[in-house]
Chain A
Amino acid sequence: MDLTAISPALLVASLMVAATPLLLAAIGELVVERAGVLNLGVEGMMITGAICGFAISVETGSPYIGLIAAALGGAALSLLFALLTQFALANQVASGLALTLFGLGFSALIGQGYVGLKPPSMGRLSIPGLSDLPFFGRVLFGHDPVLYFGLALTLATWIFLRFTRAGLVLRAVGENHDAAHALGYKVVRIRILAILFGGACAGLGGAYISLVRVPQWTEGMTAGIGWIALALVVFASWKPGGLLLGAYLFGGLTVLQLNLQAAGVAIPVEYLAMSPYLITIVVLVFLSSRRSLTPGSLGRIFHASN
């Protein structure tokens, strides 16, 4: 075992990379849940985004067009969820599961021709002087643009939910859809927009895995990150700030676990690999007492005649 091989700067930098897909998917789901909708299809939308982004990037040669395609792919899948839950008034848990099962199959189908290919790489930020600083240069100024976009999006979501009128309306719809409806807000329209936003974010997060973090395509490559993102929203008590903290903590654990594997720690690889999931469970247990923070209408079906 050689722990000195783990470089702190690289560890922190890769932590940020590992946290980004989680952060992106979770920020989308946070907005969806704040609007009172529980979309359990995050995993399905992420893997759809992963393959859409990968395939389009490979075909066009541009990772940025791929990212846009990933966001569109995720949003398209979430539109199915929106149709089912908002118009057909289907159970949200079941619809979310359907989305995940469908997304996993769909991505495997599209992805057959893309196994083993290498996607075009995305440039890293490089500011002369700043990016060359020891430690901070690599950690703060040496990442790909999506990582910064994720951070900016988290900040923007925080501002949106907290300081804007539209954010207030969205929260009102999530807390009590009947009251919001009585006040004349279009509950269904607002929720559909939130669901589409969530889908686009999840798609982007998925594409980040297949384009930047791994970067290649393998079937089922999101490996539960979508579900962890769902847990993360609970961890963050539906607050963007908490989400950032949670995603980085979690990214840190994942990277540390991988580094320990590489360093040849005496713990078997399988037990290290299951640690992120076990830790998620432990965190969920610790936080499950704080029920009161859950949006009031979360998961409930809204129908104007009720």
Chain B
Amino acid sequence: MLRLEKRAQPDRRLALASPVLAVLATIVAGGLLFAFLGKNPFIAIGTIFWEPLFGEFAFYYRPQLLVKGAPLILIAIGLSLGFRAGIWNIGAEGQYIMGALFGAGAGLAFYPAESPLIFPLMIVAGAFGGFLWAMIPAILKVRFGTNEILVSLMLVYVAEQFLASMSLGLLKNPEGFGFPGSRNLQQYASAHNAEIIAGTGMHWGVVFAFIAVIFAYALLNRHMLGFHIRLTGEAPRAARFAGVNPPRLILFCLGTSGALAGLAGMFEASGPAGVVSIDFNVGYGFTAIIVAFLGRLHPIGILLAGFLMALTYIGGEIAQSNLGLPAAAIQVFQGMLLFFLLAADLLTNFRIRRAVPEAA
């Protein structure tokens, strides 16, 4: 029989190795899944991980890595702060939608006026939209002790309905021939989140994602508030003695993650997506949860994990068109990754020993 023995300290080397282990295990299990679906597992895995980076059309796919990675990283950075402190915002998808609606709404309010001030205003509005949406669970938790997991998740469904209502009503393109969805922001110069350097996929959302990584790194390593976040997660009792103010922490963590998710939504709506419509959200808010864990809730880790996850999205799309691999298979692939990650964490926190048979 095997026996688990708790390590006094989590093993640091294994903590770094476990995401790699989890990715490898996922590739093996994913390969089996693809084989089961009647695809050659080696070709499928190769298509997902190799094709976007070094394949024939890599010049087209590489920029996509930034486009798809940026929202994931932005959202995951925000989530990781809360997750570290045991504050579970799982409604980032809703905050993402609200950010997009607020941002696009602020821009379209000025249509067709052109001004360099419109885009900065949209950024502020987008962040504010997400922030506002995240403040609902935050204030309810602080004031009434309501479970933030359930409230933030419920608000995703509310936001989806609100999105539908807006894209069929207030934000609907008056020249859209009756189709749902807003005006295309890509065709409105002042509100367009255009590529900063053409052909690289580098838009303002990517810049903000990098800033968020640096900001989070500094916060966690160089700032008292970051220390409080880490302390609350690792030793809640000690945190109370150290004078941590839990309500402030809850408001900060949820507010920040909401604002970042809102930013991600706004940049997506005004850039790659262009329009806000009923099917605007594609699940970045949920995938970002996997990104946050895959990055071990560490800013640098999240940066790498975000790009890896973006790779599976892009590779998944290629596999979909080239090999006919169903889109849902990639979703399963990403879900499996989280399973293996959580299982691999066992190794960092526990030592596995062969048990001596018990006497009694």
Contact = CB atoms under 8 A, between A and B. Distances in A.
The yes or no verdict on A and B being binding partners is yes
Nearest to B153: A227
A215 to B, nearest CB: 21
A98 B339 contact: yes
A149 interface: no
A255 interface: no
Contacts of B286: 101
Interface stretch (A136-144, A165-173, A201-209, A274-282): A274-282
A288 B147 contact: yes
Interface in B155-206: 155-158, 161-162, 164-165, 168-169
Nearest to A231: B150
A285 interface: yes
B242 to A, nearest CB: 22
A191 B76 CA distance: 32
B241 interface: no
Contacts of B154: 224, 227-228, 231, 277-278, 280-281
Given A93-B88, A289-B144, A305 B5 contact: yes
Contact of B343 (A90, A285, A289, A305): A90
A288 B146 contact: yes
Interface in B60-100: 88, 90
Contacts of A88: 342-343, 345-346
Interface stretch (A56-64, A106-114, A192-200): A106-114
Given A94-B293, A102-B339, A106-B335, A234 B161 contact: no
A186 interface: no
A254 interface: no
B6 A303 contact: yes
Report the 7 A-B pairs with minimum CB-CB distance, sorted nearest first.
A105-B331, A102-B335, A108-B328, A270-B165, A109-B328, A90-B342, A274-B161
Contact of B342 (A94, A280, A291, A303): A94
Contact of B153 (A84, A105, A112, A224): A224
Contacts of A270: 161-162, 164-165, 168
Given A227-B153, A289-B144, A97 B90 contact: yes
Contacts of A40: 149
B218 interface: no
A304 B332 CA distance: 33
Interface string B319-335: 00000001111111111
Interface residues of B, number: 49
Contact of A230 (B4, B150, B330, B333): B150
Nearest to B336: A102
A80 B151 contact: no
Contacts of A285: 140, 144, 146
Contacts of B328: 105-106, 108-109, 111-112, 219
25 contacts: A89-B346, A90-B342, A93-B149, A94-B342, A101-B289, A102-B332, A102-B335, A105-B328, A105-B329, A105-B332, A109-B331, A112-B326, A224-B154, A231-B150, A231-B154, A274-B162, A277-B154, A278-B158, A280-B154, A281-B150, A281-B155, A284-B140, A284-B146, A284-B147, A305-B6
Given A101-B289, A101-B290, A271-B165, A281 B140 contact: yes
Interface of A: 40, 80, 83-84, 88-91, 93-95, 97-98, 101-106, 108-109, 111-112, 219, 223-224, 227-228, 230-231, 234, 268, 270-271, 273-274, 277-278, 280-281, 284-285, 288-289, 291, 303, 305-306
B288 to A, nearest CB: 11
Contact of A109 (B155, B326, B346): B326
B150 A280 contact: yes
B338 A91 contact: no
Contacts of B289: 97, 101
Nearest to B2: A87
Nearest to B349: A89
B85 to A, nearest CB: 13
Nearest to B344: A88
Given A84-B339, A94-B342, A105-B334, 7 more contacts: A90-B346, A94-B293, A230-B150, A270-B162, A274-B161, A278-B154, A306-B6
B338 A274 contact: no
A106 B90 CA distance: 20
Nearest to B337: A98
A83 B346 CA distance: 11
A238 B144 CA distance: 19
A277 B157 contact: yes
